[in-house]
Structures are given as structure tokens and as C-alpha cells.
Structure 1
Amino acid sequence: MAPSRTFLDLINICDNFHIDRPNALNQFDAEELVPFTLTPLPKSPVIGLIRPVILVQLRNENERSRDKQLPPVWEIGGTEPSKLRVSFASWLVTPADRTDAMNELCERWRDTGLFEDTIGPKKWRKESYPVYRDPFGVHDNVQGQQFIDDKLNYAFEMERAAAALFGIVTYGVHMTIYRDSKDGMKIWVPTRAKTKQTWPGYLDNSVAGGIPSGIPPFEAVVKESMEEANITEDVVRKHVKAVGAVSYFTRTSKGWLQPEVEYVYELAIPADADPVLFTPKPLDGEVESFELLPVNQVIEKMREALFKPNCAVVLIDFFIRHGYITPDTEPNYVEIITRLHGRFDHERW
């Protein structure tokens, strides 16, 4: 039996990468990471982090372009390893240009078997994710337009599965559906389908999913609630509350970089409501089953590491907000609170 995890252990499992504090348990943390900037200009924003294995492939891509007498897509500058940086070439000036270039690259890598553990056919998500100049800035995605975007935060979009290859910040929504009564609080907990591309069979938040390009966070909650849990749009729009966000930086066991922001929502089942309207049911095949569990059982399963790691983080945030984790009961309270809202060491990218 696995040892019982503390709440801080669960944070460490998910938020396991820090530029200024390499993780000795992860062999990849010794790698020299190269900033991925939007353009070759000196003050261009850093939008990702490039691992050595990706840098090699991008150099190969430029050679491939030259062999075909095409302009290289990638600008790789800097004479010293510590000064290296990668960007889109200066001729790619619009979001649509960059989107087309990135999609062509990632689809070809997928079809030729490169990085199959991340973007192989079984991992490909068929979802376009937005990439922003400032990951903490406004989500001002304007789809399908050709424009030079000096004044927009939106930079381009790319396949969801490929974002980790480039250390791109991604965004999602997580919602907890719960009932609070005289018998205590209970939470609807799904089990992920065994056919899921990621974390099959693990426990999840009541409703969760990524935010596809062009969709506001709340609309993503509405969409996921209907598709994953079969909860109607009118119920979601009337009862769901936005309650904040969590952020963390995960380095996978294969070394890929996943800085993520999850917008957090709650749906409290009204005491006088018809429970059938709020009972989630599997619909799109991503969830195997739902179970209404008391808080103590949810925490027990979290400590057993049965939840997908970022879902445990969202539940920790939930339990803080509802007074189950307090400064008087949790010795690592301040560490946990601050780690739930990290900035990925972004100023050091």
C-alpha cells in the first residue's frame, strides 16, 4: 500500500518544476532550457521553454526548409548556450501565419512518429489552444482574422497535446459539484474512462476540461458540463459560481513542461432542488462513472493518490475555501496557499 500523502505532498506531485529549485528526482531538470520568444526582436515576450531535444529538431526543420528552397520558420539566435533563444522567423507576422506554421510542424511530427508519447495518434486531442504573449494577461482571442497583432495579447493557437513540447502555458476549467446538508458535505467524483489519452482510470473533479481557442472560461464550463456530465445548460448557467483559479508547473516523467492555469468553479446543489437535475451522468465516453462521496472519503482517496494530480490540487483549494483546511489544522498552510497560485518563475524564462 502506498504511503499516505500530505496535502503538501499532493501539491509537490503536481507543481513539481521550479527553475530556481531543480528537482533531484527528475533526471531532466539538469537540461539547459532555451527561451521561446514570439519574434526575434530583443524585447519580444517569452511564451515558452524549449528543451534540447526540441531545439535539435527545430534546427533540422530549418535545414529541411532550406533544402526545399523555402524560408526557415525558426529563428535560432545567440552565440553562447546561455544566450540562446528560439522564435518564429520575422516573416511570420500574423497569428494566422504562426498558427499555420505550428500546425504544419506538429501534424508532420505526429505523422512521422516523432514524440509519440506526447503527440502520437493516441495522444492527439484535435483541440486548438490559444497562446498569449503574457500568460497572465487578457484572453483577447480573435479567430480567423489576418492582422498584425502588436496590440493584442493573443499570439497564435496550436494543438493541445503539442503545447508541452514547447513549454506553453495552457488553460482549463475545473468545477466541483457538491451537496451540503445536515448529514455533512458530499462531492460528486467521477472516474476517468480507461480509454482516456491521459490518466485513464484516475479520479477527477466533477467537471473538468481544457479551454479551446475562442471560448471564454465560463462557456467552457457550460460545454464540459453538458458533454461530460449530462447537466443541462440552464442548470449550469443559473447555479455555477466562479471562485478563483489555481496554477502550477508540472514536469512530466518524460521531461515535458506543462505550466497550467485552471479556472475554478463550484455548483452547490440547492437544498430544495430536484436532485435529478444536478446528478451527473456519463455521456461522451470520457467518464466511466460518478459517485457521491463524503468529504472524508474524498480526502482519503486524495491521500492515496487516486486522483489525477491537478484535480487533487483543485480539491485542496476547495477544502481551504470551505474551512476543511485551516491555519490551525494544517502545518504547511502558508506554503500550500502560495503554491496554489504560482507564476511558473515566468520572469526567469
Structure 2
Amino acid sequence: MESTRRTASDVKNLSFLDLVNECDNFRFPANHGSRDPSSFTSPDRLVPWALSQSTDSPVIGLLKPEIIELLRREPEGTWIIPDPNADSRSRYRVSFHPSIDTPAKRTDVMKKLCEQWRDSGTIYQDIIGPKKWRNEMYPVYRNPFGVHRAHDPHAAEDSDSGNWAFDMERSACALFGVITYGVHMTIYHEDADGSNVRIWVPTRARTKQTWPGYLDNSVAGGIPSGMSIFESIVKESMEEASIEENIVRTYAKCVGSVSYYFRTASGRLQPEVEYVYDLKVPSGVDPAPFQPRPLDGEVESFDLLPLDTVISKMRQGLFKANCAMVLIDFLIRRGYLTPDNDPDFMEIVTRLHGRFGYEKW
């Protein structure tokens, strides 16, 4: 998730709705989908990216005109980019060529394209240049609200019958407006009566490619292709926080998800779904195995902070935007944020579970 231009010192008294607005900050313009020829030259126009030109083909991303112009330069037999003035009755969309009709073929096309742009030295170096390249493949699904089942990227069968459509480089996802998926977990202590909640809060490394130095959720990360949702939280817990696998498998509980439509400072679209987990440190046991510690260099330190302190730092804008969303969800589930103490309660609750305006894609 690319950071915005706002720095942590810009705002000191954000409301919870302000925090939601920082993350869920994109809405489609009123003229989205217009067939007016003049709209096709607008730099802000978003063109559906589908698997094929078939009218029932799912739309899996949204492309700006600048991306479409780059795709026009690709070899014949790779992309279908119709003339927008050819048939005003049909829905205009960009798609793979009909011969690119399986997950493996699409993955190969996207891999070559993104690596070519990475190595060009000129195209989107601030997004997918060598310093931004993640070397991590993300899954793209036909239906973002459908089954997200891990597939085997090394399997011999190249079936196009499931929800998984193809894989692509993580850092390039924002260029193509595809929905990405991650996992976030809150590790916390509380007294036996449910009071005195303390949360383990990491400070992101200053060398991170995105949001350096901001505060984060206890454990968080993307879901790489070929890995299930829960296995991703197990992996991230060890890599980022040194939490052993058996601890996570025993105590981590899925408590829902948040979804939001984020637009970066550079105008890139990053619709995201975050699967949310809680890990309550049980009372009466040795707390040492539950204490997160930096391991892979992505976190500078972990601090066990009282809930009031966490909320104060949220309001100061010190948390990464989507991490604040997850913490707001925690506050609602625990009864700290209610319709009686926040006039924006309903707006906040509904915005935590957005659908990205998907029916407009």
C-alpha cells in the first residue's frame, strides 16, 4: 500500500471518520463509463480491464489511458484494445488476446510486461523500478468476493475453471487497479475482567519501501500467490514478529475483514481486502512466547501500549492508513466505539466493509 503525501505531523486531532477517509478515499466520478468520445482523452478516465472481450467476462482491474497507450506498443496477439468509436452500443474494455486464455498464459504475459517496465529505466520507476520491485506474486481473482482458495503455482494442470485468474507482481498491482489481499493481526493483553487492554504496536523500519517509520498492526502482510489466508498470517507472524507457528495456530482467531478503496498520492488505485485476526495473550501463562520481536528487518521495534495511547497515536496520524482501519474495527468489536459516543458510527461501520463500487467496473 503506497503512502500518501501527508506526513505524520500534518494533522494532530483526527476523528475516527477522518482516519477512514484517509484510507477509503476514492469514489468514481459521475461520468464514469461514459461513451462520450471526449472522455477517452481524459487522464483520469478509468477503462475496465477484462479477461476477454466477451460480455460476460469478469472485469479484474481498471486502467488509465496512459497504461493503455503502453499496452498498444506490446506485440500483436497479446492485448485487445478496441477502437472506442467503433461501436457505441457495446461496453468498452481492454482485455487479453483470445489466445491468452489460461491462468498460466496470463501470468506469463504479465510477468514479461512488468519485468520489461522494471528494466526500462524510464517507465514507472517510482512504482515498479528495481528499488520498488517486491519479487512477490499476488493472485488476481475473477470474483473478488468469491472463493480465495490457495492454488499450487507449480501444478501441471492449467485450468481456467476456478476463481483464480492469474498472478502478477505485487508492486505493479496499483498500475492496473486490481484488488489485492492481505492479513492483519492484533496481539493484545487484557485483565481478567476485560479491562486494561494493551496492544503490541510495531514501528515500521525507516528503510521500508512504503510508509517508512509509521506505526503498524502487530502483524500484517500481503497474501502471496499459492498460500492460504491463514498460512499467510502464520508466515508473517514468524517473519515479522518472531512468533512461533504453534502459538499462532493455537490462539489466532479470524474475526472478520475490512475492505476499502485507496487512491495513492500519485493517483494510483489500490482497492484492498484485509482479513483480520486477533490473538489475545491468555492469562496465567508465560507471556514470553507471545511477545513479538523484530526478525526480518521490516520492523524497528515493538511496544506494548495501553489502548488509550494507541487511540491517541491513531488520532495524530501516526499509523499506516489501513492499520488504523483495522484498529477502528477492533474498537467497534470490543465496544469502545459505539453509536452513543461517535456521531459518525454508521458511516464508519459501513465504510469499513466497502465493495469498491464493483458494479461500476
Q: Does 1:154 align with 2:159?
A: no
In the other structure, the counterpart of 1:321 is: 333
- The CA distance in 2 between the partners of 1:287 and 1:126, in whole Å, is 19
- Residues 74 and 89 of structure 1 are in contact (CA less than 8 Å); yes or no, is this contact kept in structure 2? yes
In structure 2, the residue corresponding to 1:77 is in which secondary structure? coil
Q: Does 1:36 align with 2:49?
A: yes
- Residues 103 and 160 of structure 2 are in contact (CA less than 8 Å); yes or no, is this contact kept in structure 1? no
Q: 1:105 aligns with which of 101, 113, 116?
A: 113
In the other structure, the counterpart of 1:274 is: 286
Q: Given the superposition, is the C-alpha separation of residues 4 and 21 from structure 1 closer, same or farther in structure 2, using an over 3 Å criterion?
A: farther
Q: Given the superposition, is the C-alpha separation of residues 305 and 56 from structure 1 closer, same or farther in structure 2, using an over 3 Å criterion?
A: same
- The CA distance in 2 between the partners of 1:184 and 1:20, in whole Å, is 45
- Residues 175 and 206 of structure 1 are in contact (CA less than 8 Å); yes or no, is this contact kept in structure 2? yes
- The CA distance in 2 between the partners of 1:345 and 1:144, in whole Å, is 34
Q: Does 1:89 align with 2:77?
A: no
In structure 2, the residue corresponding to 1:184 is in which secondary structure? coil
The residue identity in structure 1 corresponding to 2:196 is G
1:301 to partner: Cα distance: 0.5
The residue identity in structure 1 corresponding to 2:343 is P
- The CA distance in 1 between the partners of 2:93 and 2:158, in whole Å, is 22
- The CA distance in 2 between the partners of 1:146 and 1:105, in whole Å, is 23
In the other structure, the counterpart of 2:78 is: 73
Matches within 5 A, 1:256-335: 256-335=268-347
- The CA distance in 1 between the partners of 2:55 and 2:329, in whole Å, is 38
1:143 to partner: Cα distance: 2.1
Q: Does 1:199 align with 2:218?
A: no
In the other structure, the counterpart of 1:6 is: 15
- The CA distance in 1 between the partners of 2:85 and 2:237, in whole Å, is 50
* 1:169-203 deviation line (CA, Å, top 9, x unaligned): 00000000000016600000000001111101000
In the other structure, the counterpart of 2:141 is: 132
- Residues 36 and 87 of structure 1 are in contact (CA less than 8 Å); yes or no, is this contact kept in structure 2? yes
1:80 to partner: Cα distance: 3.3
- The CA distance in 2 between the partners of 1:47 and 1:104, in whole Å, is 19
The residue identity in structure 1 corresponding to 2:232 is A
* 1:287-319 deviation line (CA, Å, top 9, x unaligned): 000000001110110011100000000000001
In structure 1, the residue corresponding to 2:208 is in which secondary structure? coil
In the other structure, the counterpart of 2:357 is: 345
In the other structure, the counterpart of 2:199 is: 187
Q: Does 1:47 align with 2:56?
A: no
In the other structure, the counterpart of 1:25 is: none
| Number of aligned residues | 335
Q: Does 1:238 align with 2:238?
A: no
What is the alpha-carbon root mean square deviation over aligned residues? 1.7
* 1:236-277 deviation line (CA, Å, top 9, x unaligned): 110000000000011101111100000000000011121111
- Residues 269 and 278 of structure 1 are in contact (CA less than 8 Å); yes or no, is this contact kept in structure 2? yes
In structure 2, the residue corresponding to 1:101 is in which secondary structure? helix
In the other structure, the counterpart of 1:172 is: 182
- The CA distance in 1 between the partners of 2:341 and 2:85, in whole Å, is 50
- The CA distance in 1 between the partners of 2:18 and 2:231, in whole Å, is 33
TM-score by length of 1: 0.92
In the other structure, the counterpart of 1:58 is: 71
- Residues 103 and 159 of structure 1 are in contact (CA less than 8 Å); yes or no, is this contact kept in structure 2? yes
- Residues 94 and 146 of structure 1 are in contact (CA less than 8 Å); yes or no, is this contact kept in structure 2? no
In structure 1, the residue corresponding to 2:190 is in which secondary structure? strand
1:3 to partner: Cα distance: 3.5
The residue identity in structure 2 corresponding to 1:100 is D
- Residues 12 and 317 of structure 2 are in contact (CA less than 8 Å); yes or no, is this contact kept in structure 1? no
- The CA distance in 1 between the partners of 2:156 and 2:47, in whole Å, is 29
- The CA distance in 2 between the partners of 1:201 and 1:21, in whole Å, is 37
1:148 to partner: Cα distance: 5.7
- Residues 95 and 157 of structure 1 are in contact (CA less than 8 Å); yes or no, is this contact kept in structure 2? yes
The residue identity in structure 1 corresponding to 2:254 is A
